Structure 1
Amino acid sequence: MPNADIRPATAADLPAVTEIYAHAVLYGTATFELIPPDLAEMTRRFTSLIDGGYPYLVASLEGRVVGYAYAGPYRPRPAYRFTVENSVYLRPAIHRRGIGLKLLQRLIAECEARGYRQMIAVIGDSANAGSIGVHSKTGFAMIGTHPNVGFKFGRWLDTVMMQRALGEGAATLPGAS
């Protein structure tokens, strides 16, 4: 398989991103959304993240977007301003080929460059071994599981919380903000 090109996402990538996410909503448990957002909503979300200074990346193979990753605010209150939450989604045919790992590694680097200190992963479905494994490979530690907090496809689903320090983490105080 050729190497995936990881680059900042643009508005032109959003139809592919919307398609990838729609599949995850309709057939997967990584997200607890039940109705896929349309292109207008995905564009609004993208713009909000970019305008907020957060990284949003795509992976492409031979010019075709096959996955994406972004970081966004973990929580809206100002004390959380140095903590981000990540998301990574891939086309189903691309799973288990290392592209999610590359996306997450680049996302971590981009967040460190922006001065964030902690990254949180909220992983839908405790049976999502692929996502848990990719996060473990990139230095995330298991924080805990929220059992039975989502209901999708006629069953209760857990969320798994994982976390990793970015840059100096909590070893030093951040600059004035």
Structure 2
Amino acid sequence: MTVRPAVESDLAVVAGIYAHHVRNGVATFELEPPDSAEWRRRLEAVRSAGLPFLVATVSGEVIGYAYCAPWKPRPAYRRTVEDSVYLAPEATGRGAGGLLLDHLLAGCADAGVRQVIAVIVDADAAASVALHRKRGFVEAGRLTAVGYKHGRWLDTLLLQRSLD
């Protein structure tokens, strides 16, 4: 398994991984998968901000991705980001999430990021919470019933990791 920076030719697989989570889970509050133009925009926005957008591969095939985006657009938040880590369903439990998050945190530190925020939907999220806690993230808060998806109200758990 290797981790490398994402390139535009990875985006079709990245979009497919994310679409699975949009349609079948609650890890994201998006209700419709973004199109290819939106994925190109996201990749460019992350790159333009000097932040990492990574993919994990096995035998050259993308099995997961991770990136950070600015937490908020206001300048005072410029050194705080939100992370996103998604795996193909068949790639879970093989260490890809940890490898991606480790590389992502290193890339954030190199980019001068001070705080990384994880916004985790608190439903069926034990693995994501454990992944982040194992890497030093601590609970920073909970937002109750802030998202409605698949017929139910969902909470989000905010986890935070300082990189300085």
TM-score by length of 2: 0.97
Q: Which runs of 4+ in 1 moved over 4 A?
A: none
Is residue 14 of structure 2 the alignment partner of residue 23 of structure 1?
Answer: no
**Overall identity of the aligned pairs, in %:** 52
Picking from 5, 10, 13, the partner of 1:13 is 10
Q: CA deviation at 1:91?
A: 0.2
| Matched residue type, 2:49 | G
Q: Give me the whole-angstrom Cα distance separating, in 1, the residues matched to 2:98 and 2:22.
A: 21
Identify unmatched segments of 5+ residues in structure 2: none
Contact kept, 8 Å, 1:69 with 1:104, in 2: the verdict is yes
Q: CA deviation at 1:48?
A: 1.2
Deviation for aligned residue 1:98: 1.1
- Count of matched residue positions in the alignment of Structure 1 and Structure 2: 164
- The reply on whether 1:107 has 2:104 as its aligned counterpart is yes
**Normalised by the size of structure 1, how large is the TM-score?**
0.90
Larger Rg: 1
Root mean square deviation, CA, Å: 0.9
CA distance in 2, matches of 1:88, 1:41: 18
Which residue number in structure 1 is paired with residue 69 of structure 2? 72
Partner deviation per Cα, 1:142-168 (whole Å, 9 max, x = no partner): 1121111100000011111000101x2
- Report deviation, 1:137: 0.6
Q: Deviations over 1:113-165 (max 9, x none)?
A: 11111100011234310110100011000112111110000001111100010
Find 1:89's aligned residue among 86, 89, 98: 86
Q: Find the aligned partners of 2:130 and 2:9 in 1 and give their Cα distance.
A: 31
| Residue of structure 2 in register with 1:130 after alignment | 127
